[in-house]
Amino acid sequence: MNNHIRILVADDSDVTRNAIIKITNMVDDFEVIGEAINGEEAIQKTEELKPDIVLMDINMPIVNGLEATERISKEYPDVIVIIMSVQGGTEYLKKAMFSGAKEYIFKPFSMSELVDTVESTIKLNNERRSNMKIVRSEDKEAKFSTFFSTKGGVGKSILAFNYAIKLAAIKNKKVLLIDGDFLFGDIAVLSDKKPIKTIYDIVEDMAFESFDFLKEYITETDNGVDVLLAPRRPENAESITSDNIIKINDIVKKNYDYVIIDLGTNFNNSTLTFLDYCDEIFFITTTDLMTIKNTKIGIDVMKSLGYDDSKIKIIVNKFQKNSNVNINDLNKYLKFPIYFTIPEDRKIIENSVNIGKPVGKVKMFSKGKFEKMLIKLIETE
């Protein structure tokens, strides 16, 4: 870890800035190298001073902290922004994480809280970056693809599940579907399997030695794909570290042809680790305005993470031809190409979920438009 940590404090309150400076004066390795009283100044000073850390207040005049965070993480991906917020602003915090902040801290905070937060955020960031380098330098055998979105309910799980099954059938290859939505995973329900063994059990039992150990935790389905299910209880999600995920990925990549990962909506550490690892990210959006706005933020965050544009593939799901938003408008707004569209096909999807079978196994509706487009998507692979 870099021992000397250079900090920029952005807060419109003199009292808060002075309190932080007082705290940092007492910590040997911390130095406040600049102060900003609004978001615009925070951006300017980041450019000038290239701090290691920006401690950023949310509500500030001229340019607010979220906008400033978004711009800083986009333009200076090496700078780590930590949001300072008052308790209870969870909606703000969600936005803050989407805008590219790496961590948050509640005001007022003690010296030890600040030191712990800054040090652990730098440590995690360094670990993730060095993992990313290892991931990129190694020759992978399985192709890793993920279905991700910055908005819930857009169809990530349905798409990941059905894509995995169709991929195995069309290519006649070994496919593993990982439920990477550790908090609210849906793959157990979709594949009609009880989560008896999950990724959490691998971590508990430290079963990282080889595929022989790990395969005990992977569930076979009669759909032709294997699944690695999410923890049974949301509180267990926290126990799974980036390092655990890398170890699991490194083992399964040698034993499958394709690994498909269904993710949650947050840029938390496990999500970032999977995203880093993947060869392609299917970024799912729909045409409603909230989702489009969140998609734009998500794309910017991914750019700030240094992902190549070619790794990000935007899929518009639940698309309706008579929608107010057309693909050209979406393209312009997102400033990013739309890779694929999948139509709204409610009947098929509902039936598929209810009987725990992939689309296409629902005989009555097989060869529906959803399935057809999914096959086309696989053919672009």
Ligand X SMILES: Nc1ncnc2c1ncn2[C@@H]1O[C@H](COP(=O)(O)OP(=O)(O)OP(=O)(O)O)[C@@H](O)[C@H]1O
Q: Which does 317 bind (CB under 5 to 8 A by kind): Mg ion, ligand X, none?
A: ligand X
Q: Which is nearer to Mg ion, 73 or 157 (CB)?
A: 157
Whether residue 249 contacts residue 146, with contact meaning beta carbons closer than 8 Å, is answered with no
Q: Which is nearer to ligand X, 166 or 318 (CB)?
A: 318
Q: Which stretch binds ligand X (CB under 6 A): 41-49, 128-136, 148-156, 300-308?
A: 148-156
3-state DSSP of the chain: CCCCEEEEEECCCHHHHHHHHHHHHCCCCEEEEEEECCHHHHHHHHHHHCCCEEEEECCCCCCCHHHHHHHHHHHCCCCEEEEEEECCCHHHHHHHHHCCCCEEEEECCCHHHHHHHHHHHHHHHHHHHHHHHHHHHCCCCCEEEEEECCCCCCCHHHHHHHHHHHHHHHHCCCEEEEEECCCCCCHHHHCCCCCCCCHHHHHHHCCCCCHHHHHHHCEECCCCCEEECCCCCHHHHHHCCHHHHHHHHHHHCCCCCEEEEEECCCCCHHHHHHHHHCCEEEEEECCCHHHHHHHHHHHHHHHHCCCCHHHEEEEEEEECCCCCCCHHHHHHHHCCCEEEEEECCHHHHHHHHHCCCCCCCCHHHCCCHHHHHHHHHHHCC
Q: Which of 41, 52, 179, 181: binder of ligand X (CB under 6 A)?
A: 181
CB of 177 to ligand X, least distance (A): 13
Told to check if 158 binds ligand X by CB under 6 A, we report: yes
Per CB under 6 A, which region of 90-98, 110-118, 291-299, 340-348 contacts ligand X? 340-348
Least spacing, CB of residue 371 vs ligand X, in Å: 10
Residue 260 contacts ligand X per CB under 6 A:
no
By a kind-dependent CB cut-off of 5 to 8 A, residue 259 interacts, out of ligand X, Mg ion, none, with none
User: Which of the choices Mg ion, ligand X, none does residue 265 contact, using the CB cut-off of 5 to 8 A by kind?
Assistant: ligand X
- 345 binding ligand X? (CB under 6 A): yes
- Residue pair 45/36 in contact (Cβ under 8 Å)? The answer is yes
Q: Which of residues 262-291 bind ligand X (CB under 6 A)?
A: 265
Asked if residues 28 and 20 have their Cβ atoms less than 8 Å apart, the reply is no
Stretch that binds Mg ion, among 14-22, 106-114, 178-186, 301-309 (CB under 5 A): 178-186
| Nearest distance in Å: CB 332, ligand X | 23
- 157 contacts Mg ion (rule: CB under 5 A): yes
* Smallest gap from residue 300 Cβ to Mg ion (A): 23
Residue 106 exposed, middle or buried by CB count within 10 Å (0-12, 13-18, 19+): middle
Least distance to ligand X, CB of residue 144, Å: 18
Q: In whole angstroms, how close is the CB of 13 to ligand X at the nearest point?
A: 36
Stretch that binds Mg ion, among 101-109, 156-164, 300-308, 359-367 (CB under 5 A): 156-164
162 binds, among ligand X, Mg ion, none (CB under 5 to 8 A by kind): none
Task: Map the footprint of ligand X across residues 298-337, applying CB under 6 A.
Answer: 317-318
The torsion defined by the Cα of 198, 204, 206 and 208, in degrees rounded to 10, comes to 20
Task: Indicate whether 261 belongs to the interface with ligand X (CB under 6 A).
Answer: no
Q: Which residues pair with 218 in a beta bridge?
A: none
For residue 357, state whether it binds ligand X (rule: CB under 6 A): no
List the one residue from 31, 119, 186, 279 that touches Mg ion (CB under 5 A).
186
Q: How far is the CB of 307 from ligand X (least distance, A)?
A: 20
Least Å from the CB of residue 225 to ligand X: 16
- The distance of closest approach from Cβ of residue 223 to ligand X in the complex, given in angstroms and rounded to an integer, is 16
Binding site residues, ligand X, CB under 6 A:
149, 152-158, 181, 186, 265, 317-318, 342, 344-346, 349-350, 353, 370
